[in-house]
Chains A and B, each alone.
Chain A
């Protein structure tokens, strides 16, 4: 019986196989995807370990070194009050990425909940919810985000308001996908078969609906992160995001703009490069993932 029980055990235990399959999948990645994954991995590790790597204090003001260019002591130079730019960009990257991830999480949560609500209730609830979704979708993300920032910044603070602004503007496309998926899943014969086999609503949701929704939700999350990075930077650049002393990439960029006239090109360049690198690497990975997923989502997920 041992061979057969082994077969069953492995057929009921997918975990081990899944990591194997991931390893196999990675071997097929094209070079661009591997590079992107590597660079992003380094960036994330560096951002997480910012304090360890750069013992310099990113807020330490040194008026002897105002607007020094890149040098051995200060890899990316210093800003207009003499703070080390390398330290500020690393910290800024960490802050911006954290806010972006949380904001994307908020957007995905809202989108999933709205989609599930519309897809399971159907009828009038569905019609109403989807019209509201249309209203949100028809707004310009950025302008609508600014309105939300102005309204909520006093109550939530800079970081909280940015997350809210991104969260409330980036959910409609996911809501539509989740709703559509649920509607078509409900019509699939394997769901009928599961009902015939005795599955409860809870089991249907957990075992048959959720696993089919997860790729779309996960992909939407990954695609939203670079957007959130852009939005955070843009809001902070305009002075609507984080407080000016916080080293978010957008704030550093705003400082850089002032220093450009004084010849300090490096202050705008390095945070700009950081934003670009983060967005490009995440974008490349997400794009590859999307191409290997459901074709129908490709057009829907043009965020």
Chain B
């Protein structure tokens, strides 16, 4: 089980601190399909990054199969990192623009020194994963800017699956994609989830999609343990803060010579 316990995270902002999530708890079982919904700005992506060990929370705990995560990011143990994989919401910025799709898919193996040594084996592995996510032809040899957003997201999914994770977090996997690509990606995820008892957390702002695809759906606004009045106050404060930051950013850009 992958669990987040009373996670709190805030970011520094020009007007103090912006609370992204406040004491949010969530549990993802192996083999389950859990949906997480909420409006934009409700902290879904922040929670995803914390649960994938990419972002350290201010408070609370993350446990993976009982192991408590205490270091985040590049210092975190590789074996632990590979157990949870995150598919980012915007594939255009989630792939190094200087890597060909094929290289990008195998990059986690190369980075972790678990890349098969033989060229034949490597090619076979790449072909297997490319076929599973529906990438064909010379697409693997192209650079990210030479393929469509949907094709790029397929590569991102392959890159996440190639390290054989036990939990997969899909952050708006398909919010920018066409319905048929969305369906294809979700079919791939569903097939692998069934094969390997993969736990899938599907983060989306599309309630209809979450209801249709997931076994259970949670709304991030209802996962916080704080009480309602407090939540409203914090939300109002955060919104004001965010707007101020936006305005200041705009002013700064506008006044720069």
Contact = CB atoms under 8 A, between A and B. Distances in A.
Q: Tell whether any CB of A sits under 8 Å from a CB of B in the complex.
A: yes
Interface of A: 1, 4-5, 7-12, 14, 188-190, 192-201, 203-204, 207-208, 211-212
Contacts of B120: 1, 5
Interface stretch (B7-15, B83-91, B201-209): B83-91
Contact of B96 (A1, A12, A190, A198): A190
Contact of B140 (A11, A190, A195, A198): A11
B141 A193 contact: no
A217 to B, nearest CB: 15
B60 interface: no
A199 B102 contact: no
A203 B115 CA distance: 14
Given A7-B141, A11-B102, A208-B96, A200 B123 contact: no
Given A189-B88, A193-B159, A198 B52 contact: no
Contacts of B103: 11-12
Contacts of A192: 49, 54, 86, 88, 94
Contacts of A212: 98
A30 to B, nearest CB: 23
Nearest to A11: B102
Given A7-B123, A7-B141, A198 B85 contact: no
B94 A190 contact: yes
Given A1-B124, A5-B119, A189-B90, A195 B74 contact: yes
Nearest to B84: A196
Contacts of A11: 100-103, 140-141
Contacts of A12: 102-103, 122
A7 B141 CA distance: 7
B123 A8 contact: yes
29 contacts: A4-B123, A4-B127, A5-B120, A7-B123, A7-B138, A189-B88, A189-B93, A189-B94, A190-B93, A190-B94, A190-B95, A190-B96, A190-B97, A192-B54, A192-B94, A193-B88, A193-B159, A195-B74, A196-B160, A197-B111, A197-B159, A198-B81, A199-B74, A199-B108, A199-B111, A200-B74, A200-B111, A207-B96, A211-B98
Max count, chain A CB within 10 A of own CB: residue among B74, B85, B97, B126:
B74
* For the complex of A and B, 8 pairs with smallest distance between CB atoms: A197-B108, A198-B112, A11-B102, A5-B123, A8-B123, A199-B111, A198-B78, A189-B94
A199 B127 CA distance: 23
A4 B141 CA distance: 11
B98 A204 contact: no
Given A7-B140, A192-B49, A192-B54, A197 B107 contact: yes
Interface in B53-90: 53-54, 73-74, 78, 81-82, 85-86, 88, 90
Nearest to B114: A198
A9 B111 CA distance: 18
B124 A4 contact: yes
B163 interface: yes
